[in-house]
Structure 1
Amino acid sequence: MNEIINVIKTRRSIRRFLPEQIKDEEIQTIIEAAIHAPSGHNEQPWHFTVIQNKELIDHFSNVIKKLMAESEVEWIASMGRNEKLHIFYNAPTVIVVSGRKNAYSALIDCSAATQNMLLAAHSIGLGSCWIGLIRFLFKIEEEVRKLALPEGYEPFFAVALGYPDPTKQPRPIERKRDVVNYIK
């Protein structure tokens, strides 16, 4: 099977990481893959904040969970009340993906960059998980300021990164197949 297709088909969201920090070269490989994502009008409207400070990652997780616990959506509130849950699954590295506010399609472009990061991480033996629930944190200006984003950027989501715990590998997920129609 083609190597790229294999990476796409075998990547899974990892939610159990070893505590060991990933290497700087691995982060650079992942960021390099991200900045090679396609973007509308080649605007490349992304910015990446790499966080490896455990106290800050834990703080963000606690703030997010507190806000989630107040949600009117029961599954979100239930997750927020789960004392064992860490929003970033105790990953040693978290990358926040932000986009330029005045870009034509920043959210879509940053989504493409995020997917490139997930695939690159898997291709070099790292585990990753796309974290959408971080959006709760982005409602609090004081917390967003801690990201030190350039002027004119807004955060969208995060990627948790680390070495996967080999004792807790996710199982393959059956994919829906009845999702295509052809017009020829």
Structure 2
Amino acid sequence: MNEVLKAIKTRRSIRKYLPDPLKQAELEAIVEAGQYAPSAHNDQPWHFTVIRDRTLIDRISAVSKEGMAKSGVDWMEKMAASDKFHVFYGAPAVIVVSMRKDAMSPLVDCSAAIENMLLAAESLDIGSCWIGLARFWFSYGEEVKRLNLPEGYEPCYAVAFGYKGHRPSTALPRKENAVAWMD
């Protein structure tokens, strides 16, 4: 099996990380992979903010948990109530992906960039987890100003990165009847 297909099939969301910081070159390679993602009309409407500041990562988690606690969604409220739960699972690095609001399809384009970063991380034996729950922090405008985003950009997702604190099991079988062939 070639290396790309291997990374696709072995990548899993990691929810336990070693505390060791990632190397600068590793983070640069991951971000560069995101920059090479396809985008509508090659617009590249993304901006990446690499966060290694533990205080800021913990702040984003705490504010996100506050939003989760008020969400009205049972499972989110239960997670937020746990002192042990951290939105980024203790990862030493977080990349916030922001999108240019006036782009043609910024969420799709940024999602493609995130997938590239997830696969690049896997190819480097680095764990990752796409974090949708950070959106609660994104809704606090004063907090988001800390990112110093370019004018016209807003954060859409965050991704946790770090050395794997556990080895996940193999993938569950894929759902049947998900493909139709029309010859």
Give the TM-score, by structure 2 length. 0.97
Name the structure 2 match of 1:61: 61
In the TM superposition, what is the alpha-carbon distance from 1:81 to its structure 2 partner? 1.1
| Misfit runs of 4+, over 4 Å | none
Shift of residue 2 of structure 1? Answer: 1.3
Unpaired segments ≥5 residues, structure 2:
none
Cα deviation, 1:111-138, whole Å, max 9, x if unaligned, reads 0000000000010111100001111111
- Partner of 1:183 in structure 2? 182
Q: CA offset at residue 86 of structure 1?
A: 0.4
The whole-number CA distance in structure 2 between the counterparts of 1:108 and 1:48 is 15
Identity %: 55
Length, aligned pairs only: 182
Instruction: State the distance in 1 between where 2:146 and 2:178 align.
Output: 41
Which residue does 1:134 correspond to in 2?
134
- Tell me the residue number matched to 1:119: 119
Aligned with 1:133: secondary structure? coil
| Alignment-derived partner of residue 167 in structure 2 | 169
Give the structure-1-normalised TM-score.
Answer: 0.97
What secondary structure does 1:146 align onto?
A: helix
Measured in 1, the distance between the counterparts of 2:3 and 2:27 equals 21
CA RMSD of aligned residues (A): 0.8
Q: What's the counterpart of residue 44 of structure 1?
A: 44
| 1:11-26 equivalences in 2 (<5 Å) | 11-26=11-26
